[in-house]
Amino acid sequence: MRAPRFFLSTAIALATLLASGLLVSGCDVTPPAPPPPFMPMATLPQLMHGVVDPAADVLWASVGSIVTKDGVEDFFPRTEEEWILVENAAVMLMESGNLLMIGDRVRDHGEWMTMSQGLIDAGKLALTAAQSRNPDEIFRVGGEIYAACDGCHQRYWVEGADPDGAAPAAR
C-alpha cells in the first residue's frame, strides 16, 4: 500500500500549493496602499525665499562677466568645490518643482503644474551643465530658469512680474 499513500500525500501537497496560489492571487484585488502622507510645512513665500530664490541666486551668480580697468573678464566656477555648489543649487531648483506640486501650494491642476514641471526641467538641465562643468551652458540655462520663474510670476503673482525680480543679466 505504499504507492497510494505516496499518491495521497502528493495530492495533498498539490492541493495546498493550489490553495496558496489562490490566496496569493487574491491579494491582487486588495485596494492599493494609500499615497504617502505629504506634509507641506512652508508657505509658498517661505519656500520661495528660503529655498528657490537662494538656489537660483547661486546659479545665476556663478557665471558672468565683469568689467575691470583691463577690460571684460569672464568668471565661472574653477574649483571642484565651486562646481559642487552649483550642482547643489541645481538639485534644489529641480526638486523645488515637486514641492510646488503638493498641498495647498497647488493653485490649479493645469498651468500651475506645467510651470512647476518647467522648473524641474530647467533645474535638470542646470544639473547636467554643472556635472559636465560647462560654464556657457550654465549661463544659457540660467536664462531658462529665469523664464520658468518669471512665467509663473506673470501668471500667478502679478506684482512679482517686475523687472527688479532677479534678472540673471543683472547679476
Q: Which one of the spans 3-11, 14-22, 29-37, 40-48 is the region binding ligand HEC (CB under 6 A)? A: 40-48
User: Closer to ligand HEC at the Cβ: 13 or 167?
Assistant: 167
How near is the Cβ of 68 to ligand HEC at its closest, in Å?
Answer: 28
Interface size with ligand HEC, residues (CB under 6 A) = 22
Q: At what angle do helices 135-156 and 53-62 cross, to 10 degrees?
A: 150
List 40, 42, 51, 53, residue binding ligand HEC (CB under 6 A)? 53
CA 90/CA 127 separation, integer angstroms: 5
List 128, 134, 157, 171, residue binding ligand HEC (CB under 6 A)? 157
List 63, 77, 149, 168, residue binding ligand HEC (CB under 6 A)? 149
Which region, left, alpha or beta, applies to residue 129 given φ > 0 means left and ψ of -120 to 50 means alpha?
A: alpha
Nearest-CA neighbor of 130 among 152, 145, 116, 150? 145
How near is the Cβ of 44 to ligand HEC at its closest, in Å?
Answer: 5
How near is the Cβ of 35 to ligand HEC at its closest, in Å?
Answer: 21
Nearest-CA neighbor of 130 among 165, 93, 98, 166? 93
151 CB-side CA count, 13 A: 16
**Integer CA distances (angstroms), 145 to 40, 60, 93, 141, 171, in order:** 23, 9, 9, 6, 14
Which of the residues 20 through 39 are near ligand HEC (CB under 6 A)? none
- Point out which residues bind ligand HEC (CB under 6 A): 44-45, 48-49, 52-53, 56, 93, 100, 112, 115-116, 119, 145, 148-149, 152-153, 156-157, 160, 166
